[in-house]
Amino acid sequence: MSAGSLWGVVLAGSLGCYLLKLAGLSVPAAWVQRPAVTRVVEFVPAALLGALVAVQAATSQGVLVLDGRLVGLTVAALALALRAPFIVVLVLAGAAGALVHLLGC
């Protein structure tokens, strides 16, 4: 991809994001403040983050892969469920993933 076409893609993406933001701001407040819309909007970020984490932890180049990333994610989820401090969650997940990678499982 040439530098000119790359800048074209970047500018087109920026314009699209701006227009999408503008469209969101132009929605009437009465529509956004409905209880059903509010309930759905509250869960969208968590659902998107969960989907991104699942894809990054369980796939590689579009293929399902079970490796140390998934073990690390599982250990992190267990540590969070046990209310461990965040730094402990990070260290445990990293150590578990590294151990699986080191053992070659």
Ordered per-residue pLDDT tens for the chain, 105 residues: 788 899 999 999 999 999 999 998 998 988 888 999 999 989 999 999 999 999 998 998 889 988 899 999 999 999 999 999 999 999 999 999 999 999 986
| Residues 80, 54 contacting (CB under 8 angstroms) | no
Looking at this protein, which amino acid is placed at residue 105?
C
pTM for this predicted structure: 0.62
41: tokens are: 């909007």
**Closest residue by Cα to residue 89 from 103, 72, 102, 101:** 72
